[in-house]
Structures are given as structure tokens and as C-alpha cells.
Amino acid sequence: MRPRTRSPQARRGFSLVEAVIVIAIMAILAGAMVPLALKAINQSRESQTRTNLKAAYEAMFGARDRRVPNMRADFGFNPAGNLASLGKMTTSTAAPAPNPPVAYALNGALFSWGWNGPYWTGPTKLVAGVQVPVDGWGRPIQLRLIAGQGFQVISLGANGILDTPAAQVQPQNDDLVFPSQPALLASAYSTSPTITVHNNRATVIAGTLTFRYRNGNALAGPLNAAIAPLAGQTVTYNSGTLPAIPVCPAGPVQVVINITTVPAITFSEVVDLLPGENHAFSYTVY
């Protein structure tokens, strides 16, 4: 039997024209896929940026719904709208004087008055000597103060251009911000403490209330108020009646009640106040 042989047509490969056509089709398909791939990448980076913006804001100011260790609560820091303020979240900064050695435990975590960071542990970039948190595109997140309203953190988005004017709350073009509506400066991180002293003794008591907190890089206080209610009565103090505290910043607060009449007694506690919290301190003298 004679072996089979292939015809010349069966042995030949692609012609040059056919190869060009195949390459052209592949190029068209690849070109069509590139925008889709870039869109998917940008969507992923946008999602990461939104997470980073929220985390950066809460690392500096805290959250309204839960306790988040944050620079302002620990350090009493009032930031400016600039990169240097963001950099203080990552770089250890000496606590401003006076700095009382007050430490306390809350839910198993230790907090203290003073810098207790780093508050941001995510990706950073060195800008003008400052390690600044970055967005999903690896660009520095910016902090800005909108006059009369509050703070926002902003990302320049995919195009890397700041499209949102300084006084504009809602982002423009592809910029991203958090929060969408900045809270008023006072309510963004303030609390409303109330301190009540019940006197169950048959005699008149006398003493002092000392209230300490941090604000504006300094220890606000001690703020003292005299305690001298009649026997068997109650005296109540709040943020309006305590001297020089129209509002109290969220974060560490120390309350000390010294009853100096015999028998003498002292109440003392340090608590961590949540932003927007109306906290009541109550003490009873027996």
C-alpha cells in the first residue's frame, strides 16, 4: 500500500493576508478590553479611596457611633487644613504641656492624655517631609477646613486634579470627600457632660468639683466649682454652668469631687466621652 501524502493546499500555513487579519482582530479586541480594564481598576481604587478617606477622618476626629482611638481625643489637637496636620497622625509628636500622667482602661484598651498613635497605619507618602495618608491611586489625601462648617478629607480622584473649590462641600468631577456634609465645628466632636452631687448627709457639705479635659493643644483646667449645697439636697453642674466650658471636646475627661467636711470623701474617675454624647456623672455623699 502506498503511503498517503498531503496535498500542497493541506501543508501550507496562514498566508500573510490572513495573519494580518487575525492580528488586526486581536488588536481590536484588545483595544476594546483596555477601557473596560481601566474602568475596573479605577472602580477598585475608588472603593479603596472611600475606605481610606473614612479611616483617615476618623483617625483624626473620631466617629459618632463608636469609640475610635483618634488624635484629637487623645491629644486635644485642633488641626489646620493642611498636610502637616495629617502628618501628625503618623509621626510621634510630644504631648503639649501640661500633660498630666492620667491613664485609664476602657473596654480592654489603654488610652492616655497625649499622643498615643500612630492613628493611621495605612499606606503613606512622604510629602514635604511629612508622611501623609494616600488614596487608592497612591496620591496624598488632603485635609481642608470649610469656613463655618467643618473639616473634610478629599481625594483628587482618578484624574489627579483638584476640581472642587475650597468652599464647595459637594465634590466635583471625580473628586471624593468624607464626610459628605461636614459637621459644625462644635458638634463634630463635642459632648455635653452633666455632673450631679447628691448629699444624703444630715449636715451641710462643702468641697470642690474639678473638671479636666484637653482642648487646643493644652490642658483646659483644672476648672473648679464650689460644692456647698444645703444638707440633704442636690447640686447639678453642666457644661453651661461650669466655668469657661460652653462645650466639652470628646475624649478623655477627668472628674474629681473633693468633699472637705468631716468625714472627708473623694470621688475621682476618668472616662472617654464619645462625640455627641450627653454623659451624666453622678455621685452620692453618704
Closest to 276 measured CA to CA, from 214, 186, 212: 186
User: What pLDDT is stored for residue 158 in this prediction?
Assistant: 93
Give the CATH number of domain 190-285: 2.60.40
Tell me how far apart the alpha carbons of residues 46 and 59 are, in angstroms, rounded to a whole number: 20
Domain ranges (residues) in the chain: 44-178, 190-285
Grid cell, residue 268, equals: 475621682
Q: Which alpha helices (DSSP H) does 68-194 contain, by range?
A: 71-75, 83-87
Query: In b/e form, how buried is each residue of 141-163, taking b as 16+ CB within 10 angstroms?
Result: bbbbbbeeebbbbbbbbbeeebe
User: What pLDDT is stored for residue 246 in this prediction?
Assistant: 60
Tell me how far apart the alpha carbons of residues 286 and 201 are, in angstroms, rounded to a whole number: 6
- If the chain, 286 residues long, is cut into consecutive pieces of 10 residues, what is the mean pLDDT of each piece? 56 71 80 76 92 93 81 76 82 68 65 81 89 94 87 94 92 95 70 89 90 73 80 85 70 88 91 81 94
User: What pLDDT is stored for residue 199 in this prediction?
Assistant: 93
User: What pLDDT is stored for residue 274 in this prediction?
Assistant: 79
User: What pLDDT is stored for residue 14 in this prediction?
Assistant: 67
The β-bridge relationship of strands 142-146 and 103-106 is unpaired
Grid cell, residue 73, equals: 481625643
190-285 and 44-178 share a CATH fold: no
Tell me how far apart the alpha carbons of residues 38 and 117 are, in angstroms, rounded to a whole number: 36
Give the CATH number of domain 44-178: 3.30.700
Grid cell, residue 30, equals: 484588545
